[in-house]
Homo-oligomer: A and B are copies of this chain.
Amino acid sequence: VDEFELIRRFFSTGYPQRTDVMLGVGDDGAISRLGRDEELVSCSDTLVAGTHFPPELPADAIAHRALATNLSDLAAMGASPRWFLLALALPRIEPEWLEQFSAGLARLAARYQVALIGGDTVRGPLSMTITALGSVPPGTAVRRSGAVDGDLIYVTGTCGDAARAWQAMAGGATLAADDPCYRRFAYPEPRVQEGLALRDLASAMIDISDGLHVDLERLLTASGVGGAARAEDVPLSAALVDQVGLAAARELALTGGDDYELCFSVAESRTTDLARLSADWSCPPVCIGRVVSEPGLSWELDGLGLANPSSAFQHF
């Protein structure tokens, strides 16, 4: 199997086609059209076997995660996902693995109509970098830096589930395929529609890839403000609490990565808009605190201050 055969078999059919793609996979570059009044939003995320997922994770889950982490970044900017490039390093060609990988990739791509327009395939330790490209009307992308004193802080969905699964797997456990925490880790759902809906409402937004505390702190630092948050309000799934107990669930929710929920700030005057907007979301936003002028992020639990959690999910 040479590279061209590999691309033809696994990365050419089954992916969404878009009319704004002039030329896709197969040339030196892809050609795509941006509408007259749009800005390009681009991001790259790399997943390395062993660092970001166990190598024995099903190939469709690996592909799903690789694309989902990038779509989540676009979501956190309030961007419409349009195209992506896949750079895939494989130790060897295993057609069955690739079949499953491309099925997982195509499935998630179809859900958000994002077209695979190029990339690279090379021999190397299993890892992949996806670059996702999206668009926004000029000036409307949601940055990390727009939070102001008095804004309320929200997070979508539940936190800590994916970290629980990764921790268990890293410890040698095999999780059932229908374990809710495992599913959050293996098939995270990027909050694409929610990110788009929040574009005109959130003053700042970030996706939770390294942990709620660390990522919220990044948002606040980028905005030049601080935050006061309540640990008891951070949403936890019943499955997580059931598996590890309330105290450990809270710690995982604050420090665990890989959730790909959105954390954002909203002016208090717009909370009614937010309630109306999010009424039918499957991952309803929950208010967990407030932006304050003094730098730093402090947590309390039932009225008592908490020592600052440190993330177990640093890249290095």
Q: Which residues of A contact B (CB under 8 A)?
A: 1-4, 6, 22-23, 26-34, 36, 38-48, 50-52, 72-74, 76-77, 79, 83, 85-87, 89-90, 93, 117-125, 127, 129, 131-134, 136, 138-139, 141, 143-145, 205-207, 218, 222, 314-316
Check B29–A33 contact: CB distance below 8 A.
no
User: Can you give 27 A-B contacts (C-beta < 8 A)?
Assistant: A3-B315, A6-B316, A26-B222, A28-B43, A28-B144, A29-B77, A29-B79, A29-B134, A30-B41, A30-B42, A31-B77, A33-B40, A34-B34, A40-B133, A42-B85, A42-B131, A43-B118, A46-B124, A47-B122, A51-B123, A89-B127, A93-B316, A120-B315, A121-B316, A122-B315, A124-B125, A124-B127
Asked, given contacts A3-B314, A6-B316, A129-B129, whether A144 binds B27 with beta carbons under 8 Å apart, the answer is: yes
A145 → chain B closest CB, angstroms: 8
Check A129–B120 contact: CB distance below 8 A.
yes
A196 → chain B closest CB, angstroms: 13
A88 → chain B closest CB, angstroms: 8
Q: Which residue of B lies closest to A143 (CB)?
A: B27
Asked, given contacts A44-B118, A52-B122, A121-B316, whether A23 binds B141 with beta carbons under 8 Å apart, the answer is: yes
Check B136–A42 contact: CB distance below 8 A.
no
Check B39–A31 contact: CB distance below 8 A.
yes
Check B315–A121 contact: CB distance below 8 A.
yes
Check B39–A22 contact: CB distance below 8 A.
yes
A194 → chain B closest CB, angstroms: 14
Residues of chain B with a CB closer than 8 A to A206's CB:
28
A229 → chain B closest CB, angstroms: 20
Q: Which residue of B lies closest to A69 (CB)?
A: B120
Check A51–B85 contact: CB distance below 8 A.
no
Of B36, B40, B46, B89, which is within 8 A of A122 by CB?
B46
Q: Which residue of B lies closest to A133 (CB)?
A: B42
Residues of chain B with a CB closer than 8 A to A50's CB:
124
Q: Which 5 A-B pairs have the closest CB atoms?
A: A48-B124, A129-B129, A29-B43, A131-B131, A28-B76
Residues of chain B with a CB closer than 8 A to A90's CB:
316
Residues of chain B with a CB closer than 8 A to A34's CB:
34, 38-40
Check A44–B87 contact: CB distance below 8 A.
yes
A99 → chain B closest CB, angstroms: 17
Inter-chain CA distance A183–B304, complex, in Å, is: 63
Inter-chain CA distance A50–B141, complex, in Å, is: 40
Of B3, B46, B118, which is within 8 A of A120 by CB?
B46
